[in-house]
Amino acid sequence: MLIRHASDILPSEITAPAIHAGRRHFVRNLLAAGAGISLGPLASASTAEAPPFGTPKASPFSLRDEKPTAFKSITSYGNFYEFGPDKDSPARHAHRLRPRPWSVTIDGEVKNAKTFGIEDILAWPALEERIYRLRCVEGWSAVIPWIGFPFSELLKRIEPTGNAKFVEFWSLADPEQMPFVRLPFLDWPYREALRLDEAKHPLTILAVGMYGEVMPKQNGAPLRLVVPWKYGFKSAKSIVRIRFVEKQPETSWIKAAPDEYGFYSNVNPEVPHKRWSQSHERRLGEFFKRKTLPFNGYADQVAGLYAGMDLHKNF
């Protein structure tokens, strides 16, 4: 008989019933979305359908000892400036987003520019659940069970040219769906970027869901970036374009305030934001602050990407 120790059990297994029910919900929503049908709330858990692409695999990169933040917290508090400037704006207004039909164009320094329908992407076989810390530049944090693909899955289907050194991520900017892109608050469309080696790092994922569910609109449906060692704003939501480029690109936040937002934006408790300290963070739903960890706790895996760089200058 196989006896497992508590430390061998993934958090996702501990929350198995909820996640399992959620997965059925996820799959059901995907099927409905693919067929262009909008469904009401789940009538009963017994309406389970067979997954069209397999169940997300638990990932060895998942956190094991930290409890996921409440789904309610992470879907009701956040930033998505296309829907307004307040922390509750995304939850209030993102219902206007239409995540189907949806396509993502891959272009720039690639040998084979391509446009993928979201259904194509959802059919990629490497779907995983990844439980990651998220640290926002404003000082709050969360632990989120994402569902997604390593960015390298895209690279299996796209061949960058030798000139590709950086990758840009462009969010949708449709004033019909996103009322605040009519205002010049940021340089729209929202654009973020990574160095190619950062994008290729196995921790970098393209997420299509969370908590066993299809991605909520306010969290960046149907496809968003997640880079767990960087501040949350690097993870562009509702992506429509991924562009490989040669030179380090401008990003929406650097354009807005170049002395406050650097290109790297690696979580760093030692480098304060221009207007506040980054030494501590408050986990959504908790009262006491905790210490912020270098690279958000992922230093063992990613510090090598920045060997020899002055992280005070390259913030």
Ligand X SMILES: Nc1nc2c(c(=O)[nH]1)N[C@H]1C(S)=C(S)[C@@H](COP(=O)(O)O)O[C@H]1N2
**Which residue ranges make up the site for ligand X (CB under 6 A)?**
74, 78-82, 134, 136, 171, 190, 219, 232-233, 235-238
Shortest CB 288 distance to Mo ion, Å: 21
136 interacts with Mo ion by CB under 5 A? yes
Which two tokens mark 302? 């990613």
- What is the size of the binding site for Mo ion (CB under 5 A)? 5
Per-residue contact flags (x/-) with Mo ion for residues 86 to 125, judged by CB under 5 A: ----------------------------------------
Kindly tell me the burial class for residue 169, based on how many C-beta atoms sit within 10 Å of its own C-beta (0-12, 13-18, 19 or more).
buried
Beta strands in the chain (DSSP E): 57-58, 103-108, 114-117, 128-135, 140-150, 166-171, 191-195, 205-210, 213-214, 224-226, 239-245, 280-283, 290-291
Shortest CB 187 distance to ligand X, Å: 12
Select the span of 36-44, 60-68, 69-77, 129-137 touching Mo ion (CB under 5 A): 129-137
Residue 236's binding partner out of Mo ion, ligand X, none, with CB under 5 to 8 Å set by partner kind: ligand X
Residue 292's binding partner out of ligand X, Mo ion, none, with CB under 5 to 8 Å set by partner kind: none
Closer to ligand X by Cβ: residue 160 or 233: 233
Shortest CB 278 distance to ligand X, Å: 13
Q: Are 121 and 115 in contact (CB under 8 A)?
A: no
Q: Which helix (H) or strand (E) holds 27?
A: helix 16-34
CA distance 184 to 106: 26
Closer to ligand X by Cβ: residue 48 or 100: 100
Shortest CB 232 distance to ligand X, Å: 3
End-to-end CA distance of the chain: 51
Among residues 232, 203, 208, which one has the least CA distance to residue 62? 203
CA distance 169 to 218: 18
Residue written as tokens 């099927």? Answer: 31
Shortest CB 225 distance to Mo ion, Å: 13
Residue 74's binding partner out of ligand X, Mo ion, none, with CB under 5 to 8 Å set by partner kind: ligand X
Closer to ligand X by Cβ: residue 33 or 239: 239
Closer to ligand X by Cβ: residue 190 or 263: 190
Closer to ligand X by Cβ: residue 166 or 190: 190
CA distance 283 to 15: 19
For residue 207, give the 3-state DSSP assignment.
strand
Residue 75's binding partner out of ligand X, Mo ion, none, with CB under 5 to 8 Å set by partner kind: none
Among residues 97, 314, 81, 315, which one has the least CA distance to residue 187? 81
Q: For 9, what's the count of Cα atoms within 13 Å in the CB-facing half-sphere? A: 11
Closer to Mo ion by Cβ: residue 29 or 79: 79
Among residues 150, 146, 149, which one has the least CA distance to residue 210? 146
Which two tokens mark 125? 């076989």
79 interacts with Mo ion by CB under 5 A? yes
How long is the chain? 315
Closer to ligand X by Cβ: residue 56 or 189: 189
Residue from 77, 116, 188, 233 that binds Mo ion (CB under 5 A)?
233
The residue ranges that bind Mo ion (CB under 5 A) are 79, 136-137, 232-233
